Every structure is written in C-alpha cells, then in structure tokens.
C-alpha cells in the first residue's frame, strides 16, 4: 500500500460550535451529511454508503472542539492514520471554522479534496450556513 498524504481542509461555518459538533459527533448528525446511515456501539461507529459498511473507532473527542476517528482496517493493519473534525473559533471575530484532517492515497489527493468539499457543502446547507 502506498504511503498516504495528510490533507487539511478549512471551511467557514455560520453556526454555533455546539450545533456543529452535534452534526459531527452523533450518529444522527453524521447520517444527515456524511453517510447514508451511522450507528455507534461502544465507540465503534458503523458508516453505511450505498449498501457497503465501514467501521471506525472513535479515538477521542472534546465537546464543541473536535472528534477523531480511525478506520478499523487501518487499526488492524497497524496504521496510525485518522480523520478528524476540529472546530476553531477565532477569538477576535468569533468566526467558526471546521478543519477536516484526513490521510489519503497520494494519487487521490485532488479527488479526496473534492469529495470532502461536496460532503461539507451538504453539511453547510443543512446548517443554513
């Protein structure tokens, strides 16, 4: 398997951190924009897309700040790749930003960025942002 490249994408969100965090960290919130359906059992999130399922372990979270996951296939392979949703609030302007961190195949960087843009656009639409 090729090494993966770390990407970080930042999106301005017109929403409170609490409302945004709910959409990033709960199965119902994630089901609205990230996957067709999401379940959580003891910190293992099952994501469903078009009949396929991928599972991820929640590595950590802090309310209204971040949630971090690792795909189980990466954990089983001993990889320390992860994906993370982090909420940043500018102390002066109070502008809220969502920073998405992911590790992607080197030859799929542009495609992955477009996919995240599409998914986050759906999230922003849901939030009225």
CB atoms closer than 10 angstroms to residue 12: 11
Q: What is the CA radius of gyration of the chain?
A: 14
Q: Is the pLDDT of residue 1 over 50?
A: no
Which residue shows structure tokens 């940043």? 88
Mean pLDDT of 104-122: 95
| 23 φψ region: left (φ > 0), alpha (ψ -120 to 50), beta (else) | alpha
Mean pLDDT of 116-125: 96
Identify the pLDDT of residue 114.
97
Least Cα distance to 123 among 3, 57, 32 occurs for 32
Share of the chain above pLDDT 90, in %: 95
Mean pLDDT of 35-42: 96
Mean residue pLDDT of the chain comes to: 95
Mean pLDDT of 116-123: 96
- Domains of the chain from N-terminus onward: 4-127 (3.30.530.20)
**Taking the model in full, what pTM does it have?**
0.93
Q: Is the pLDDT of residue 2 over 70?
A: no
Lowest-pLDDT choice from 20-24, 34-38, 125-129: 125-129
Summarised one tens digit per residue, pLDDT across range 52-70 is 999 999 999 999 999 999 9
Q: Distance between CA atoms of 35 and 47, rounded to whole angstroms?
A: 6
Q: Distance between CA atoms of 109 and 95, rounded to whole angstroms?
A: 27
Q: Where is pLDDT greater, at 98 or 1?
A: 98
């Amino acid at each position: 398997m090729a090494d993966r490249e770390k990407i970080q994408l930042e999106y301005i969100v017109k929403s409170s951190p609490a409302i945004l965090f709910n959409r990033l960290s709960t199965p119902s919130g994630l089901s609205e924009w990230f996957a067709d359906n999401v379940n959580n059992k003891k910190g293992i999130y099952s994501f469903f897309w078009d009949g396929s399922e991928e599972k991820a372990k929640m590595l950590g979270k802090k309310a209204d700040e971040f949630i971090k996951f690792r795909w189980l296939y990466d954990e089983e392979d001993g990889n320390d790749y992860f994906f993370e949703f982090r909420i940043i609030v500018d102390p002066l302007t109070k502008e809220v930003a969502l920073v998405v961190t992911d590790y992607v195949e080197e030859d799929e960087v542009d495609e992955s960025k477009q996919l995240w843009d599409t998914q986050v656009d759906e999230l922003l639409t849901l939030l009225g942002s």
